[in-house]
Structure 1
């Protein structure tokens, strides 16, 4: 019993310290509050609105914001409030899925590249350099266009352009960790490379990856919206913020509410995630402490 308590206690202590530092960071706390509101609204969307986000009603087109339609209606009479709520599910879900997938794949490739070295390292890093040679958004647009304009292909394109960042992060940490005494001791005892990577390298190299993941989610949401705006992401009538802004900006002068509310939701979500990411970076990365 005593040994179990001793093993759990440091974890609880670190968790308490992280929580204390997080709540002391006012900007990160503000971001968390904003994101919390968005998440609650997205989860309870069916209870907050009775309108179907894809149902058209030509007789109600371009209705101004009112008690009946809080955010007004679009060019085919769809309720914009319901589309923004359901769009938050899509945008947040895609952003998290894309970044977590890219982070997982990138960490796997980076740790293998850094630990094994040699030709494996050369091949992996040259491929990553080829991807990094192109501007991120331009390459994502090219990949999405080549794969075909739909939401799944947009997610694949964004994940591909995000992977090299995590490969380089994980590789850099692995190169430093493989020289540590505990790793050298594991090699001396004949422990297989895959086990050393899984049990000793990855757990100790994960901190900068987690920081990058929290920072990248907001950027991924913006990239999804950008591809949707360009017609390379979600296709109508899918309620996605970028696709809504793509159509709505044409009516900005006459029907200001159409692009404004999806744009505001996009701004708040990406801003909140960036604030949270900055806060977590300040806590987990000692070099960034001010």
Structure 2
């Protein structure tokens, strides 16, 4: 029950209002003007909260990773050496200096000379250039093939009977390429295609490297086709190709970029291995594999420098790929600003 003595009159209310009014109470007004009492109030004249686009956010996450900087520096140095070193170096990859055969590094032969009188540095730089072209081209073409097959199979799988048939046919195609002995076919067709152009190595390597990526993209697409915005696009009669380009590919672009980046090093190692056993790049061209093919176990300078260049190239690409994965993955620790 309310105590009658505790009920305040209208005069008491007026007095309380006068005491709490900032204009009538200078002490309270000065306290409210104190910025320490208004720290939660947004400053009108100061800068607001910085709004970052997705690209800027990814760039900051990527550049904050030390591995990304190490990978970019090493990769940039190797690319510049591959482009400009053959222009200024005094020896070509097939110029012979038989007088200095099997001699170590010197001021004239930076990496030494092999037993055939060929300058190892010149051949390494020429091989690095070709290996970079093959690695980048193979990775891009592999991603394109996997993208077409994987997204198509995942999208048409739930479109009735004919969609299920088409999906099954594409899955069987993927499984067929997975069981084909790709190494034997590469060894069989590579010498034949090399007589035309060494660029044939790009589609040849990509032809047997797209299957696992396609299976992953198919599974990711099957999850995305059940989302509301894709279903809405279907009901609105949007062209399936436009739906794939606008709604599906952007949602899996992060994984595609990471897989493509890491695929460059895999393609370089694949081409180097084939060239090393004699089924890859051959004369009149040279790759890192053919440079290593001319090794002499008793002369370490004939194989350590090109092997170090190959290792540095692969490690730098992997470091950039790992940093890119961390930047695109919101659950990783490096994704925090």
Partner of 2:100: 60
2:87 is the alignment partner of 1:43: no
Are the aligned partners of 1:87 and 1:241 in contact in 2 as well (CA < 8 Å)? yes
Partner of 2:170: 124
CA shift at 1:152, angstroms? 4.4
Q: For 2:246, which of 185, 188, 199 is the aligned residue?
A: 199
Are the aligned partners of 1:62 and 1:73 in contact in 2 as well (CA < 8 Å)? yes
Partner of 2:44: none
CA-to-aligned-CA distance 1:226-256 (integer Å, 9 cap, x gap):
01111110113422111111221xx121x21
2:124 is the alignment partner of 1:84: yes
Q: Could you say which structure has the larger radius of gyration?
A: 2
TM-score by length of structure 1 reads: 0.88
CA-to-aligned-CA distance 1:72-125 (integer Å, 9 cap, x gap):
112222211111112111111100100110001110111111001111111111
CA shift at 1:163, angstroms? 0.6
Structure 1: 4+ residue segments shifted above 6 A: none
Compare 149-158 and 216-225 and name the one that shifted more.
Answer: 149-158
TM-score by length of structure 2 reads: 0.76
Partner of 2:216: 169
User: 5+ residue gaps in structure 1?
Assistant: 1-8
Relative to its length, the structure with more helix (as a share) is 1
Partner of 1:95: 135
Structure 2: how far apart are the matches of 1:218 and 1:128? 23
Are the aligned partners of 1:236 and 1:243 in contact in 2 as well (CA < 8 Å)? no
Q: For 1:212, which of 259, 264, 279 is the aligned residue?
A: 259
Are the aligned partners of 2:187 and 2:274 in contact in 1 as well (CA < 8 Å)? no
Compare 95-104 and 194-203 and name the one that shifted more.
Answer: 194-203
Structure 2: how far apart are the matches of 1:96 and 1:42? 14
Shift in alpha-carbon separation, 1:212–1:115, aligned structure 2, 3 A: same
Q: For 2:187, which of 145, 149, 158 is the aligned residue?
A: 145
User: 5+ residue gaps in structure 2?
Assistant: 1-49, 158-163
- How many residues in Structure 1 have an aligned counterpart in Structure 2? 274
CA RMSD, 1 decimal: 2.0
Shift in alpha-carbon separation, 1:140–1:265, aligned structure 2, 3 A: farther
CA shift at 1:203, angstroms? 2.2
CA shift at 1:56, angstroms? 2.5
